[in-house]
Structures are given as structure tokens and as C-alpha cells.
């Protein structure tokens, strides 16, 4: 589903104008960014949550040159689905 299709579907299902749906998604994005910048968990009801996780430095080998490099430690956003969404996906995939 494309961005335009999602906006149209949400507008139709909620009887909102497309302009208002776009404004909602932009607001959601801004709030999520602010929350994650504060290293806090951001929950989307019925879907799951985003949080910032610390990733340790790692060694990796470049296959063509056999050179070993090290990635620096970094903080990255991660997403965890809600148990209900996870069950629904498993049900869909098993059919």
C-alpha cells in the first residue's frame, strides 16, 4: 500500500479530509521523533512500540579484501510488535 492509498483509506474510514489525515501523520511523526530523542518509549496503540536501543561495536570482515573493520557503538531505533499483531500475522502466514 502506498502513502497516497493509506491516506485515502484512513480519510474514508474516519470521515476526515485527506488534508487532516496528512496533518495527523506529520504530527505523529514529530511527536515520535521528540519522544525517541529523549530516549523514551513511543507506543502506537494496537500496533507496538518504538524505543532506542544501544548497539555494541562489532567487528566485520570485508569478503573481497579480507580486511577487518569495527563498527562504532551506536544508539538505534527498534520496533516491537504488540502480541495481538504478532498473532494475527502468524495466522495470516499459516493460511
The pLDDT of 63-90, averaged and rounded, is 92
**pLDDT tens digits, residue range 21-55?**
999 999 999 999 999 999 999 999 999 999 999 99
Q: At 62, is the secondary structure helix, strand, or coil?
A: strand
In whole angstroms, what is the distance from residue 60 CA to residue 66 CA? 9
Supply the mean pLDDT for the chain: 93
The pLDDT of 51-74, averaged and rounded, is 93
User: What is the model's pLDDT at position 36?
Assistant: 94
pLDDT over 90 (residue 92): no
Please give the C-alpha separations between residue 70 and each of 25, 62, 67, 73, in angstroms, as whole numbers. Answer: 37, 11, 10, 9
The pLDDT of 9-15, averaged and rounded, is 94
The pLDDT of 3-26, averaged and rounded, is 94
Within 10 Å of residue 17's Cβ, how many Cβ atoms?
10
Amino acid at each position: 500500500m502506498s502513502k497516497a492509498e493509506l491516506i485515502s483509506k484512513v480519510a474514508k474510514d474516519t470521515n476526515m479530509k485527506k488534508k487532516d489525515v496528512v496533518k495527523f501523520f506529520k504530527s505523529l511523526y514529530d511527536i515520535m521523533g521528540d519522544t525517541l530523542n529523549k530516549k523514551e518509549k513511543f507506543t502506537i496503540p494496537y500496533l507496538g512500540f518504538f524505543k532506542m536501543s544501544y548497539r555494541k561495536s562489532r567487528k566485520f570482515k570485508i569478503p573481497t579484501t579480507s580486511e577487518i573493520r569495527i563498527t562504532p557503538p551506536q544508539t538505534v531505533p527498534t520496533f516491537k510488535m504488540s502480541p495481538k499483531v504478532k498473532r494475527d500475522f502468524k495466522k495470516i502466514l499459516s493460511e
